[in-house]
Amino acid sequence: MKLKLGIFGYPLSHSISPAFQQAALDELNLDVTYEAWEVRPSDLKSRIEELRNPGYLGANVTIPHKESAMDLVDDLDPLAEKIGSLNTIVNRNGKLFGYNTDAAGLLKALNSTGAFDPNGAQVLIVGAGGAARAAVCALLDLNIAGLVIANRTVDRAIVLQKYFDSNIEVLAIGIDDPRLSEYIKKSRLIINCTSMGMKNGPAEHLSPLGESLIPEESLVCDMVYNPPMTPLLTEAVKSGAFIVGGLPMLIYQGASAFELWTNVTPPISVMFTAAENALEGNQ
């Protein structure tokens, strides 16, 4: 019997997860299909219940279901509980387990560049949504010196500032706060956790930060993966910064999910090639 995997989200036309996950499954000759399951919020509960059937290994979960899905599984991994959202569900004999692999995916993406030493580093995060929450959780486990969360709505940044219990100093400010430029100049790592710069998005051609603000030899990470070279990354290159796009994080979080479903290490290079080809096809 061919087993099933897939991704729950709404909408899902932008997702390239089916392309790189299926490529990895095929490379390992696993008799499994990975599909895109566009699911409205009102239908999420019934669709997740289907995952209990023996024909399903599990699923990925993306926007806007990452938080609501937490109440629909039987058991939550401590990290998913800490972050407050899940992105992976595993079916083990009809019991559903929820995981969050976003934080691990981000750290692997940062480590892949070799350009970021967390020890004593100041970090700036732009955004205060679910992606930012995973980033903050991951970074607070490192030996960073301090973290600034800049968001258009200051109240949301304050909520995230207070969400995690940590000895590391965390500051929440508005994206238009005049102090922001000084915090940026001191930052060794800058992460965009917003959709700004995303292809076909409302702010497709905009960057959250300009070239003049980005420190030379800092590391700038953009979680947006389409286009591969976002306006922010373009500005960062001009400033002499190192960059990492959103694709490595997407692949590494997907690889961690793949291992949870199959107990097999996926071929990362195959996943990258398939993802890059999928992005080229979407241009």
* pLDDT per residue as tens digits for the range 218-276: 999 999 999 999 999 999 999 999 999 999 999 999 999 999 999 999 999 999 999 99
Specify whether 254 is located in the same domain as 126.
Answer: no
Which pair of structure tokens corresponds to residue 42?
Answer: 């009102």
Cα(32)–Cα(17) distance, integer angstroms: 14
Rg of the chain taking only CA atoms, in angstroms: 19
Specify whether 76 is located in the same domain as 154.
Answer: no
Q: pLDDT for 177-202, tens place per residue?
A: 999 999 999 999 999 999 999 888 88
Specify whether 157 is located in the same domain as 77.
Answer: no
For residue 213, the model assigns a pLDDT of 86
Specify whether 188 is located in the same domain as 220.
Answer: yes
Specify whether 254 is located in the same domain as 236.
Answer: no
Please determine, for residue 283, whether its predicted confidence score (pLDDT) is greater than 60.
no
DSSP run (H or E) holding 242? strand 242-244
Specify whether 112 is located in the same domain as 223.
Answer: yes
Specify whether 238 is located in the same domain as 108.
Answer: yes
Please determine, for residue 98, whether its predicted confidence score (pLDDT) is greater than 90.
yes
Specify whether 187 is located in the same domain as 92.
Answer: no
For residue 31, the model assigns a pLDDT of 97
Q: What is the CATH number of the domain that holds 56?
A: 3.40.50.10860
User: Residue 75 sits in which domain range?
Assistant: 3-100+248-281
Q: pLDDT for 25-38, tens place per residue?
A: 999 999 999 999 99
Specify whether 263 is located in the same domain as 224.
Answer: no
Name the catalytic one among 2, 66, 186, 199: 66
* The total number of structural domains that make up the chain: 2
pTM of this prediction?
Answer: 0.93
Specify whether 155 is located in the same domain as 214.
Answer: yes
Specify whether 167 is located in the same domain as 235.
Answer: yes
Q: What is the CATH number of the domain that holds 107?
A: 3.40.50.720
Please determine, for residue 19, whether its predicted confidence score (pLDDT) is greater than 70.
yes
Please determine, for residue 115, whether its predicted confidence score (pLDDT) is greater than 80.
no
Asked about 66 being catalytic, the answer comes back as yes
Cα(42)–Cα(272) distance, integer angstroms: 33
Contact at 8 Å (CB) between 68 and 93? no
Nearest residue to 132 (alpha-carbon basis) of 97, 166, 158: 158
Specify whether 180 is located in the same domain as 262.
Answer: no
